[in-house]
């Protein structure tokens, strides 16, 4: 009923955001709980997912595990999507 009336009786104690349903507040609280759970081992940045943190850390280490399979091309990238975009450039060369 609160939703239809526009009432927002459920407030976040961390950021003061308001919600019409308790379940929405509960879901929002998970964001605060999980936000920044993964910390970069090289700088002070924090990330919500291990994958995002790992990709970020590759900026510090220079690790580029995604290597171009084309003969004579020695390019490598920290993210798979970057390799996919690169491979598209090989198709344009033909």
Q: Retrieve residue 60's tokens.
A: 């510090």
The rounded distance, in Å, linking the Cα atoms of 26 and 10 is: 10
Q: Averaged over 63-92, what is the pLDDT? A: 94
Residue 73 has pLDDT above 70, yes or no: yes
> Is residue 39 within 8 Å of residue 53, measured between CB atoms?
yes
Tell me the CATH architecture of domain 2-34.
2-Layer Sandwich (3.30)
Position with higher pLDDT, 54 vs 3 = 54
Q: Which residue has the tokens 């700088």?
A: 43
Residue 72 has pLDDT above 50, yes or no: yes
> What is the pTM assigned to this prediction?
0.53
> Is residue 35 within 8 Å of residue 46, measured between CB atoms?
yes
Q: Which CATH superfamily is domain 38-93 in?
A: Classic Zinc Finger (3.30.160.60)
């Amino acid at each position: 009923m609160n939703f239809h009336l526009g009432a927002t009786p459920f407030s976040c104690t961390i950021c003061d955001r308001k919600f019409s349903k308790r379940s929405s507040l509960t879901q929002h609280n998970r964001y605060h709980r999980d936000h920044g759970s993964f910390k970069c081992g090289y700088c002070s940045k924090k990330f919500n997912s291990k994958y995002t943190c790992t990709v970020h850390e590759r900026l510090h280490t220079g690790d580029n595990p995604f290597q171009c399979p084309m003969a004579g091309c020695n390019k490598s990238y920290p993210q798979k999507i970057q390799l996919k975009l690169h491979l598209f450039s090989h198709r344009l060369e033909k």
